[in-house]
C-alpha cells in the first residue's frame, strides 16, 4: 500500500482540501470542526442555486441525507452533477435509508449516480443492498459482519468503494476488502460521528489517487484518534473535545504506526 493513511494525512495537511459538505442540521457544526481539526477545509454549501457551481471548485463533495427535504435533494443533485462534470470524488451517506419510503427512494436514486464512496452503518448498508435491516432510526442495529456481502454487491453494482462502520469497520471496492479496528465505545454515543467520518472520507478522497486507500485513511484516522481520546475520557461528554484534540494531534508517522488495518482475502463473484 503506497498511499498509507499517514502519507495521505501528510498530503492533506500540506495542502488542505476544500470539502463541500451537504450534510444534516445535526452534523453541520460537528463535522466542520472534525474536518478543521483533521487538517481539511470544510464548506457547508447546499442550495441548488449555488451547489453545482461550488462543486466544480471543491476538492471533493459529500452528501448526507440525515435531515432531507425536497429542496435539499435538489441541492444534492446539482452538486453531484457539478462534481461529476469536474471529475471530483463524491461520497454518499444514506442516513436511516431503511426508515421511510422517501429515504429509500432518495438513497436509491443517489446511489445509482455512482458515488465514489458510500459510507453507512450496517443497518443502512444492508437496506441499500436490498436486504432486511433491523435499523429503525439513524443508529446502526445490525453487526458489521452481516453487511459485508451486501457491501461487496453494492460496490460492484455502482463501482463504488463501500464502507460499513461499527465496532470494527469494513471497506470494500467489490474485489479488495479490509477491516479497520480501534476507536471507542463512546463514539456511537456522540451524535454525528458517522456523518463527520463521511466528510473526512471526502477530504481523504480529495488527496488520494485510489478511493479505497482514501476510505482506509479516513477510517484509520478516526480509529487512532478515537482510541487516544478514550484514554482518560469519563464518558461521551468528555470524549468529544478529546477526540477533536486527538484528530489534530496525531502525526502521519503515528497514524501509520498505530493504525490497525487487516486486509481480507478476495472473494470471487
Ligand atoms: N462500538 C464501537 N467501538 C469503537 N468504535 C465505534 C463503535 N461504534 C462505532 N464506532 C466508530 O464510530 C464512527 C461512526 O460510526 P457509526 O457506525 O456509529 O456511524 P453512524 O451510525 O452513521 O453515526 P451517525 O449517523 O450518528 O453519524 C466510526 O469511526 C466507527 O468506527
Ligand atoms: C440524530 C440525527 N437525526 C437525523 S440526522 C442525525 C445525525 C446522526 O445521523
Ligand atoms: Mg449515520
At residue 56, does pLDDT exceed 70?
yes
Q: Is 263 exposed, middle or buried (0-12, 13-18, 19+ CB in 10 A)?
A: exposed
Protein residues with C-beta less than 5 angstroms from the ion ligand 3: 95, 194
pTM score: 0.98
The answer to whether residue 182 is domain-embedded is yes
Q: Is the CB of 83 under 6 A from ligand 1?
A: no
Distance from residue 267's CA to the centre of ligand 3 (Å): 27
The answer to whether residue 269 is domain-embedded is no
Instruction: List the beta strands (DSSP E) in the chain.
Output: 18-22, 41-43, 60-64, 90-93, 117-121, 161-165, 169-172, 177-181, 260-264
Tally of domains in the chain: 1
Domain hosting 23: range is: 5-264
ipTM of the complex: 0.98
Instruction: Point out the least confidently predicted range of 160-164, 229-233, 265-269.
Output: 265-269
Cell of 158: 455502482
Q: Whose Cα sits closest to atom 22 in ligand 1?
A: 194
Q: Whose Cα sits closest to atom 16 in ligand 1?
A: 194
- How far is it, in rounded angstroms, from Cα 190 to Cα 182? 16
Segment 234-253 mean pLDDT: 98
At residue 41, does pLDDT exceed 90?
yes
Q: Which residues pair with 162 in a beta bridge?
A: 118, 172
pLDDT score, position 269: 58
Task: Tell me which residue of 20, 13, 124 sits closest to 79, measured CA to CA.
Answer: 20
Q: How confident is the model at residue 265 (pLDDT cuts 50, 70, 90)?
A: confident
Q: How far is CA 225 from CA 58, 119, 215, in A?
A: 26, 19, 15
pLDDT digit string, tens, across residues 62-118: 999 999 999 999 999 999 999 999 999 999 999 999 999 999 999 999 999 999 999
How many other C-beta atoms can be found within 10 angstroms of the C-beta atom of residue 248? 13
pLDDT score, position 170: 98
Q: What is the residue-averaged pLDDT of the chain?
A: 97
Segment 239-254 mean pLDDT: 98
The answer to whether residue 230 is domain-embedded is yes
The answer to whether residue 31 is domain-embedded is yes
**CATH classification at residue 50:** 3.40.1190.20
Q: How confident is the model at residue 234 (pLDDT cuts 50, 70, 90)?
A: very high
Distance from residue 95's CA to the centre of ligand 1 (Å): 12
Segment 50-64 mean pLDDT: 98
Amino acid at each position: 500500500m503506497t498511499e498509507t493513511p499517514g502519507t495521505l494525512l501528510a498530503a492533506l495537511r500540506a495542502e488542505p482540501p476544500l470539502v463541500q459538505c451537504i450534510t444534516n442540521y445535526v452534523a453541520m457544526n460537528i463535522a466542520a470542526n472534525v474536518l478543521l481539526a483533521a487538517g481539511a477545509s470544510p464548506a457547508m454549501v447546499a442550495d441548488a442555486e449555488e451547489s453545482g457551481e461550488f462543486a466544480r471548485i471543491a476538492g471533493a463533495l459529500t452528501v448526507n441525507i440525515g435531515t432531507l427535504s425536497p429542496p435539499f435533494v435538489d441541492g444534492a443533485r446539482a452538486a453531484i452533477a457539478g462534481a461529476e462534470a469536474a471529475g471530483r470524488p463524491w461520497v454518499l451517506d444514506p442516513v436511516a435509508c431503511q426508515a421511510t419510503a422517501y429515504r429509500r427512494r432518495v438513497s436509491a436514486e443517489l446511489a445509482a449516480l455512482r458515488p465514489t464512496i458510500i459510507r453507512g452503518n450496517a443497518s443502512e448498508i444492508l437496506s441499500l443492498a436490498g436486504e432486511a435491516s433491523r435499523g429503525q432510526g439513524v443508529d446502526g442495529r445490525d453487526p458489521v459482519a452481516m453487511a459485508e456481502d451486501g457491501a461487496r454487491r453494492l460496490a460492484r453494482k455502482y463501482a463504488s468503494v463501500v464502507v460499513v462502520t461499527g465496532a470494527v469497520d469494513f471497506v470494500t471496492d467489490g474485489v479488495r476488502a479490509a477491516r479497520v479496528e480501534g476507536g471507542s465505545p463512546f463514539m456511537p454515543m456522540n451524535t454525528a460521528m458517522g456523518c463527520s467520518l463521511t466528510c473526512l472520507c471526502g477530504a481523504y478522497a480529495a488527496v488520494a489517487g485510489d478511493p479505497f486507500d482514501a476510505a482506509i485513511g479516513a477510517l484509520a484516522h478516526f480509529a487512532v484518534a478515537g482510541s487516544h481520546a478514550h484514554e482518560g475520557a469519563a464518558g461521551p461528554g468528555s470524549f468529544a473535545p478529546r477526540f477533536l484534540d486527538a484528530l489534530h494531534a496525531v502525526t502521519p508517522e503515528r497514524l501509520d504506526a498505530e493504525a490497525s488495518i487487516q486486509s481480507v482475502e478476495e472473494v470471487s463473484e
